[in-house]
């Protein structure tokens, strides 16, 4: 995406017409099926659709919401969809957007998990994965470029991005520490050099590029998005009940040490204690599900990550795979109902993983909306966004390493995967092809190459 060459077309562009809840419903449903590429790719898709094409929200308001979601534990892309849905159509709009972002991937992963565990490692599936993995690497690189081109507007923000990359790549610093450091730099920078941290370093050109938006920079905060203590207390009470009721029922039926009960408790902790989105949650899930509970093997966990990368929805939906395999293998409901046990476990862990995300958005959204023009609040978030670009770049290199050197640097270099990744990058950057088109094409190429090699 190039914004520098875009002419000032704002006077010729009509203001976006109001969007009904049903129109929004159709869009969020579509997004649930096309949101490939992990959080970076999903955020990129939302930016293309909502900011550039449909102009439902301005870039400045979009980035402000994104900055808040980056602060939260949990999947930031799903939280961003929930936030925008809530801002446009109140609580039900947020619930619809967030649920539809997750629901298609839940059903797809339940089906794929059953195929995986019931039918084993098929050559056709392995071949499809062989082509998809390098494509996903190219998608993450493109997403890092797109987000970086929007957020890194000056040398200081570039320096923060570079420092975060070095911290996570070379020093293996934990993501929460990087977030805190970037927020501190943003806070200090907002006081010392405010022009460098003014909403991402200056997004004034965004309106010239994309035209007026339905929720524009100067659109007043709607009544439902204003902070009220009564609303916060009621949300806290409802959220507590939505957690206590299923957890109490599981404890009563299976005891505290039961597999389903422990899954609910573990994934509640994963949702609350891990920051930085799916990529920060995954190591914690791996340690608990494989190392502590033994719900699945290391090989099964890696295969689950591949499924999560190649299906729509949040990458953290790999928890559905973990729940399904754990309950299926341990025959929680008996040998005759293994699929039912897996499906119920996948649904339960999805519930406990995403419930906090909805509460964070619906409860914290009014506070965030009251700060979108206050530099003392936005400057730390601008610093965090810059740091996240460095983290995404590290992730792209991590993917590239495992795809191109599957046996490590001491092993062979996988030339076919490198060529597939290069072709995917050319299709994305040069020819602006869609994510789904690239994934499908690379999957077919990978299948042919894999079958020829074997």
For 230-240, how does the pLDDT look when each residue is reduced to its tens digit (9 = 90+)? 888 999 999 99
- For residues 67 and 268, which has the higher predicted lDDT (pLDDT)? 268
Identify the pLDDT of residue 298.
73
Rounded distance between C-alpha atoms, residue 100 and residue 104, angstroms: 7
pLDDT digits (tens, 9 = 90+) for 164-202: 899 888 887 876 688 789 889 988 988 888 888 765 433
The percent of residues above 90 in pLDDT, for the chain, comes to: 29
Q: How confident is the model at residue 275 (pLDDT cuts 50, 70, 90)?
A: low
* Higher pLDDT among residues 302 and 347, named by residue: 347
Q: Which residue has the higher pLDDT, 311 or 426?
A: 426
User: What's the average model confidence in pLDDT over 105-128?
Assistant: 82
Q: What does the alpha-carbon distance between residue 100 and residue 177 come to, in Å, rounded to a whole number? A: 32
- Give dist(CA 111, CA 311) in Å, integer: 11
Residue 405, both tokens:
């050197």
More confident position, 388 or 10 = 388
Around Cβ 247, how many Cβ atoms within 10 Å?
Answer: 17
Token pair for 301: 């966990």
pLDDT of 273 reads 67
Q: At what angle do helices 278-286 and 318-329 cross, to 10 degrees?
A: 20
At residue 11, does pLDDT exceed 50?
Answer: no
The closest of 43, 17, 388 to 51, measured between CA atoms, is: 43
Instruction: Name the band, by pLDDT with cuts 50, 70 and 90, for residue 353.
Output: very high
User: How many C-beta neighbours within 10 Å does residue 10 have?
Assistant: 12
The reply to whether the predicted model has a pTM over 0.85 is: no
3-state DSSP assignment of residue 215: strand
- Which residue did the predictor score with more confidence, 217 or 193? 193
Q: Binning pLDDT at 50, 70 and 90, where does residue 203 land?
A: very low
**Does residue 275 sit in helix, strand or coil?**
strand
Q: What is the pLDDT of residue 180?
A: 85
- Flag whether pLDDT at 410 surpasses 50: yes
Highest mean pLDDT among 131-135, 268-272, 298-302, 326-330: 326-330
Q: What is the pLDDT of residues 73-102, one digit of tens each?
A: 778 889 999 999 998 898 999 999 999 999
């Amino acid at each position: 995406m190039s914004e520098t060459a875009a002419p000032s077309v704002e006077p010729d562009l009509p203001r976006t017409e109001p969007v009904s809840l049903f129109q929004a419903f159709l869009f969020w449903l579509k997004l649930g099926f096309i949101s490939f590429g992990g959080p970076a790719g999903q955020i990129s898709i939302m930016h293309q659709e909502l900011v550039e094409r449909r102009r439902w929200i301005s870039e400045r308001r979009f980035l402000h919401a994104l900055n808040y979601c980056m602060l939260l534990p949990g999947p930031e892309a799903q939280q961003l969809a929930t936030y925008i849905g809530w801002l446009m159509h109140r609580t039900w709009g947020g619930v619809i957007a967030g649920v539809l972002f997750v629901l298609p991937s839940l059903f797809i992963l339940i089906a794929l998990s059953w195929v995986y565990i019931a039918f084993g490692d098929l050559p056709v599936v392995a071949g499809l994965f062989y082509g998809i993995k390098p494509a996903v690497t190219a998608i993450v690189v493109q997403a890092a470029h797109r987000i970086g081109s929007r957020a890194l507007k000056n040398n200081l923000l570039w320096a923060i991005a570079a420092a975060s990359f070095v911290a996570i790549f070379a020093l293996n610093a934990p993501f929460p520490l990087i977030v805190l450091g970037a927020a501190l730099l943003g806070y200090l920078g907002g006081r010392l050099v405010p022009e460098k941290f003014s909403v991402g370093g200056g997004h004034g050109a965004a309106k010239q590029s994309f035209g007026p938006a339905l929720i524009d920079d100067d659109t007043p905060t709607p009544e439902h998005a204003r902070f009220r203590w009564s609303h916060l207390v009621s949300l806290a009470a409802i959220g507590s009940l939505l957690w206590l009721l299923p957890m109490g029922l599981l404890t009563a039926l299976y005891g505290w040490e039961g597999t389903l009960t422990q899954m609910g408790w573990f994934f509640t902790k994963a949702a609350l204690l891990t920051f930085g989105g799916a990529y920060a949650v995954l190591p914690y899930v791996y340690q608990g599900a494989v190392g502590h509970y033994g719900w699945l093997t290391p090989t099964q966990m890696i295969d689950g990550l591949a499924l999560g990368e190649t299906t729509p929805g949040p990458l953290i939906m790999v928890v559905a795979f973990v729940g399904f395999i754990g309950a299926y293998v341990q025959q929680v409901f008996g040998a005759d109902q293994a699929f039912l046990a897996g499906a119920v476990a996948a649904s339960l862990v999805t519930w406990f993983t995403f419930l906090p995300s909805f509460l964070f958005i619906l409860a914290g959204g009014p506070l965030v909306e009251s700060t979108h023009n206050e530099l003392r609040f936005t400057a730390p978030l601008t610093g965090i966004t810059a740091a996240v670009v460095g983290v995404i770049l590290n992730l792209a290199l991590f993917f590239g390493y495992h795809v191109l050197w599957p046996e490590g640097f001491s092993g062979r270099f996988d030339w076919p995967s490198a060529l597939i990744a290069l072709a995917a990058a050319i299709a994305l950057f040069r020819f602006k092809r869609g994510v789904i088109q690239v994934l499908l094409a690379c999957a077919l190429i990978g299948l042919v190459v894999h079958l020829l090699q074997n």
